[in-house]
Amino acid sequence: MSNIKVAIRVRPRTISEATLDHQLTVHMGGNNIVHLHNPAISKTSAKYGWNDKRASSQPRQFAFDYCFPATDGSCASANIASQEKVFEDLGMPVLNSLFDGYNACVLAYGQSGTGKTYTMMGTPLEPGLAPKLCTAIFERITSECGCSNVHRPSFRIEISFMEIYNEKVRDLLEEYSNRGSVQLKIREHPQLGPYVQGLSRHTVEDAAAALGLLKEGVERRSSAATQKNGHSSRSHAVFTVHCTAAWVTGEGLPRETVAKLHLVDLAGSERASCNPVSRLRLKEGALINKSLASLGNVINALAEKASLSKGSISTLNTSSSSTSSINIPSVQTTPSATPRRSQTPFIPYRDSVLTWLLKDSLGGNSKTFLVAAISPSTRAFKETLNTLRFAERAKRVVNEPVINENASVELIHHLTQEVTRLRALFAQSVESNQSNDNSSLIPSENITKLLGANHSKACELTEDWLRKWRRGIGEAISTVHSTPQSTEIGIQTSFPIIMKDLGNVIPAKESKSANRAPVENATSNLGTIDFHSETSCWSDDSLDGSYPTEFRPTTDSHTEYPRMSKLMVQESASIIKPNFHIGESLSAPFSGSFHQQRQSPTPSSKKRISARRVIKTGPDVRTMFKNSGEIQQSRCSSPLSPSLVVTGRPPESFSKRKAFKYIPDQVHPFGISACSQKLPLDNLPSNQDHEIAKVKSNSYDEKMINNDSHKSYQESELASRSVEFVPSSRIGLSSCNSKVNCCCHILHHGSPCKLQHQNFLAQIGYQRNSYCQHDISYQQSRAVPCKSQSFDTILRAELLAIRRRMVARTASPKVAASLRYLTQWQTDSLENPLSIKS
Ligand SMILES: Nc1ncnc2c1ncn2[C@@H]1O[C@H](COP(=O)(O)OP(=O)(O)OP(=O)(O)O)[C@@H](O)[C@H]1O
């Protein structure tokens, strides 16, 4: 239980107020007390000797949680409150709540022109709460991910931004040709509460992307000049940050929290007489006031509910006395909001779109902060008084924030705890029965079975969760960005790299427009870059999103394998943007990955990579590709290496230069992935397919999850890598004049007999390239005269030669047998490729 925290912020006097020497009404004292008096009325009363009992003439005091005096000292306070101070007092607790898994909300409320937008959005020079929070969120993520703790969480941040204009919800992050026609609907989920159907959510990876979206939305927001404010917001804006954190606890249990932060900049209320500009402004103003009045009613009812639950006498009298003739939302106690005292008051959330949408933040599951913005001028005395009264009532509203744990993760916890408890009981009872020699009382087999079932259920759910989490990022993007303007897709498998330009995803009508330029450039620029398989780097680990794969432009030689670092990746990203993309490996380095880059056609966001993700290959990616309809052919690569090869027409420039070649999967040099120890070495069965299927089903992911569900993700990844020799390899070609460089690259993952393998690799001419923490990469490259041979012929010959050398020299009979088997199998398949069933 926690009350809404309320802050009062006074804006400085405007130039005209200062020039006309408006008298001041607000004074901020110690202990966050706000004193309000109207010197103009008091003077008049004194002059005529009136005993003025009018409410507005009485000096008043209000106590709040925070007070932010004006920066020009106009509210007669010793302190002034900068944007930094506001962030420190309000932003930091909000940030902490978000990272603890609580929903949070900051509402800016007040009369038009009092500084709500200034507080929430700020100016370029003085950023407000929203931009500061965007930056702080990613700073926090960097610091949490950077720690050495293996149980550190990984995060997914998604952003949505909408406005409620004339009681209609509009997405501020979507480009519409006719914005007026698009109206989103609010729905209510029984568990998750109200949400906006069809509102886009954008996954962001850094503060710059988040700030870009914020800026984009602010630019699209409805605003107009009014008498009170030259740039008045005509809508309520709701900027939402969804923060999902996932980690594995020390006990090996998954945890996932899903919290959201609403930053709400409400439209300001104003008197109708203040703004006789146009009918449109009049209608806007009326609807703004109506929704703010509904907000007042909700706050009223919630305040009454809180008072009732405390058993105190309802204090609504005070509230209703605040009803005034002016347009600061006069809080009227509607019949629904004034029930009999004995009953819980009805909360009229559905009276307006705003209150329905903020249901969670008002009296629900959220830690909510209200910033009431006021003017110090006597001219705005009545509005200021009403705002302060509203804020005072809001302070009484009680919310019930809870940590938002993922439901299936909660179930896993519950099941695991139950299993542990039952096991302890079981052991205890066996012990006591044995000591009493009362074997008839030993718990039945059924109980053991039940325990087993519960345990496997927990394992199964953990497994699902891991899969979902790793896949989630990509899915989020593919579903949210349902109308991509242009898409480039590249594929990297465990050894070939295939680039495919999917420029034709652009709708035909736009293909000739200037918006097409980046994609066309991308295609033509490809020709200036030589690619070979060595340009792909993998880093290990998986969950925290900092594991990039690199597509890197090279000139002619790839003998020097670059040391991979984040910095380098960033650099190359800036070199190659927007043509290529940086991806991340979410999974095993020897499985394929899917790279996707989308660009919005708006000039402002041309440079922005709004989505870039790598998804592990497997059925999902294949389905995605098929659905996209852009892939000419897709199939599994070597059945022993469950990676995906997507072939497509390479850009013309590539074929001309012969700088790039993708290699049929059949020539995979080893065809062994992490499961090499599973290969049938002794009794090779006659039915090869059967064995292949067996090996496939034991591929990296399955194995890792089945066997290691109780270990942390990182631990299990390392463990699964330690299985056998040569878990992965890549091979590629690049041409340089008349020579072809053939480069074979082996990833050697923390094998138990590392030294032995290192020696072996050295013997057969591989040089070591260490580029990331756990993997050791070896490579060998040879210049082969080109003559008239095709790339494939050279490559196949080279690969077979490599394998034969390995078989001849290997010291390990097990590895030799495995390689011999594969060599034979692959030689056959090379001769008759169609015999391979994928
Ligand atoms: N605390 C402050 N310090 C400096 N300038 C301020 C402050 N508060 C407001 N201002 C300035 O006052 C003007 C009006 O502020 P702003 O647009 O934020 O008001 P608002 O309450 O959002 O108005 P509306 O409801 O009409 O959109 C802006 O020029 C803003 O920069």
Q: Which of 49-58, 147-156, 570-579, 630-639 has the highest mean pLDDT?
A: 147-156
For residue 339, is pLDDT > 80?
Answer: no
Which structure tokens are listed for 667?
Answer: 């020539």
Nearest-CA residue for ligand 1 atom 1 is: 11
Q: What is the pLDDT of residue 553?
A: 26
Nearest-CA residue for ligand 1 atom 12 is: 115
Tell how far the Cα of 114 is from the centroid of ligand 1, in angstroms: 5
Mutate to test the pocket of ligand 1, among 71, 72, 226, 229 (most ligand atoms within 8 A of CB): 229
Judging by beta carbons within 10 Å of its beta carbon (0-12, 13-18, 19+), is residue 828 exposed, middle or buried?
middle
The mean-pLDDT minimum among 123-132, 706-715, 776-785 falls in 706-715
Q: What is the pLDDT of residue 145?
A: 63
Binding-site residues: 110-117
Cis omega before residue 496 (within 30°)? no
Nearest-CA residue for ligand 1 atom 8 is: 115
Half-sphere exposure of 78 (CA within 13 A, CB side): 4
Q: What is the pLDDT of residue 701?
A: 29
For 195-218, give the secondary structure using H, E and C.
Answer: EEECCCCEEECCHHHHHHHHHHHH
* CA R_g for the chain: 33
Q: Tell me, what DSSP letter sits at residue 491?
A: E
The model's pTM is: 0.55
Q: Give, rounded to a whole angstrom, the gap between the first and last alpha carbons of the chain.
A: 58
Q: What is the pLDDT of residue 174?
A: 78
Residues contacting residue 99 through CB under 8 Å, at least 6 positions apart: 140, 144, 243, 245, 259
638 touches 665 (CB < 8 A):
yes
358 touches 105 (CB < 8 A):
yes
Nearest-CA residue for ligand 1 atom 14 is: 113
From residue 63, how far is each of 396, 448, 620 by CA, in Å?
A: 12, 61, 57
For residue 580, is pLDDT > 90?
Answer: no
pLDDT mean over 783-788: 49
Interface predicted TM-score of the whole assembly (ipTM), two decimals: 0.98
101 touches 405 (CB < 8 A):
yes
For residue 49, is pLDDT > 80?
Answer: no
Size of the chain in residues: 838
Q: 122 in the Ramachandran plot: left (φ > 0), alpha (ψ -120 to 50) or beta?
A: left
d(CA 806, CA 27): 85
Residues contacting residue 589 through CB under 8 Å, at least 6 positions apart: 494, 538, 539, 540, 728, 747, 749, 775
Binding-site residues for ATP: 110-117
Q: Which atom of ligand 1 is nearest to the CA of 120?
A: 18
Q: What is the pLDDT of residues 507-554, one digit of tens each?
A: 222 222 222 222 222 222 222 122 222 222 222 222 222 222 222 222
d(CA 208, CA 316): 46
Pocket lined around ligand 1, Cβ cut-off 6 Å: 11-12, 71, 110, 112-118, 229, 231-233, 267-268, 373
Q: Which atom of ligand 1 is nearest to the CA of 14?
A: 12
The residue to which tokens 């200021």 are assigned: 384
Of residues 365 and 597, more confidently modeled: 365
Handedness of CA 760, 764, 770, 773 (dihedral sign): negative
d(CA 705, CA 715): 11
For residue 36, is pLDDT > 70?
Answer: yes
Q: Where are the alpha helices (DSSP H) in 577-680?
A: 619-628, 652-657
Which structure tokens are listed for 532?
Answer: 């070979």
Residue 30's pLDDT band (cuts 50, 70, 90): confident
Tell how far the Cα of 318 is from the centroid of ligand 1, in angstroms: 29
Nearest-CA residue for ligand 1 atom 2 is: 11
Q: What is the pLDDT of residue 327?
A: 38
For residue 184, is pLDDT > 80?
Answer: yes
Tell how far the Cα of 117 is from the centroid of ligand 1, in angstroms: 6
Q: Which of 144-153, 328-337, 550-559, 812-821 has the highest mean pLDDT?
A: 144-153
- Amino acid, res. 809: R
For residue 644, is pLDDT > 80?
Answer: no
Q: What is the pLDDT of residue 684?
A: 27
The mean-pLDDT minimum among 151-160, 382-391, 691-700 falls in 691-700
Residue 179's pLDDT band (cuts 50, 70, 90): very low
Mutate to test the pocket of ligand 1, among 10, 83, 117 (most ligand atoms within 8 A of CB): 117
Of residues 39 and 299, more confidently modeled: 299
Tell how far the Cα of 790 is from the centroid of ligand 1, in angstroms: 69
Q: Which atom of ligand 1 is nearest to the CA of 266?
A: 25
Of residues 699 and 454, more confidently modeled: 454
Nearest-CA residue for ligand 1 atom 23 is: 113
For residue 286, is pLDDT > 70?
Answer: yes
d(CA 623, CA 618): 9
Tell how far the Cα of 316 is from the centroid of ligand 1, in angstroms: 31
771, 776, 782, 783: CA torsion to nearest 10: -20
Q: What is the pLDDT of residue 554?
A: 27
Q: Which of 381-390, 465-474, 585-594 has the highest mean pLDDT?
A: 381-390
Q: Which atom of ligand 1 is nearest to the CA of 265?
A: 22
From residue 534, how far is each of 306, 322, 785 by CA, in Å?
A: 65, 73, 20
d(CA 610, CA 208): 11
Of residues 446 and 716, more confidently modeled: 446
Tell how far the Cα of 163 is from the centroid of ligand 1, in angstroms: 19
The share of the chain scoring above pLDDT 90, in percent, equals 15
- The DSSP result for 656-699, as a single string, is HHT------GGG-SS---TTGGGS--SS--S-HHHHHHHHHHT-
Residues contacting residue 571 through CB under 8 Å, at least 6 positions apart: none
- Amino acid, res. 80: I
Q: What is the pLDDT of residue 143?
A: 79
Mean pLDDT score across all residues of the chain: 58
Tell how far the Cα of 148 is from the centroid of ligand 1, in angstroms: 44
Tell how far the Cα of 240 is from the centroid of ligand 1, in angstroms: 22
d(CA 598, CA 346): 47
d(CA 139, CA 46): 57
Mutate to test the pocket of ligand 1, among 16, 82, 118 (most ligand atoms within 8 A of CB): 118
Q: Which atom of ligand 1 is nearest to the CA of 269?
A: 25
Q: Which atom of ligand 1 is nearest to the CA of 373?
A: 21
d(CA 536, CA 494): 10
Residues contacting residue 40 through CB under 8 Å, at least 6 positions apart: 23, 378, 381
Tell how far the Cα of 397 is from the centroid of ligand 1, in angstroms: 27
Helix (H) / strand (E) containing 97? helix 92-100
3-state secondary structure of 528: coil
From residue 383, how far is each of 232, 330, 831 by CA, in Å?
A: 17, 10, 87
pLDDT mean over 164-173: 88
Tell how far the Cα of 112 is from the centroid of ligand 1, in angstroms: 8
Mutate to test the pocket of ligand 1, among 9, 10, 11, 263 (most ligand atoms within 8 A of CB): 11
